[in-house]
Homo-oligomer: A and B are copies of this chain.
């Protein structure tokens, strides 16, 4: 299970260090793709395969779900953790997430999320302000 928040830096080759405790779960392969809210999702390969199969099974006929599946499947890229515990984030995904140097890696149960630090701070503070409202709407769910 992935939890926690880590502040790392991206070097000019687009490499990002994975927190040590996560490396063992990603050693068998991982997949990065476009996420929601201008973040990137990083799944262990096995988790990804489940998700990809669902996306591929979406009906081709509807323009909007087709577009969504396209974005996530086309956005995905298989990455490997190198000897130094890093993965290389492809150029086009760095652009999408607006990451350049300072990056936040967060654990979200079954996936990691990768954020530009500034964007993360803004999102976090905004969400904190709204958290009471959100909690109320969630109601009995939690």
Interface residues of A (CB under 8 A from B): 1, 3-5, 7, 31, 33-34, 36-37, 49, 51-52, 54-56, 58, 60, 63-71, 73-78, 90, 92, 96, 106-110, 113, 123-124, 126-128, 130-132, 134-135, 138, 141-142
Contacts and interface: CB of A to CB of B under 8 A. Distances in A.
B113 A3 contact: no
A73 B135 contact: no
B71 A109 contact: no
A68 B141 contact: no
A89 to B, nearest CB: 13
Number of copies: 2
A5 B71 CA distance: 9
Contacts of A134: 64-65, 67-68
A118 to B, nearest CB: 15
Nearest to A108: B73
Contacts of A7: 92
B74 A107 contact: yes
A31 to B, nearest CB: 7
A132 to B, nearest CB: 6
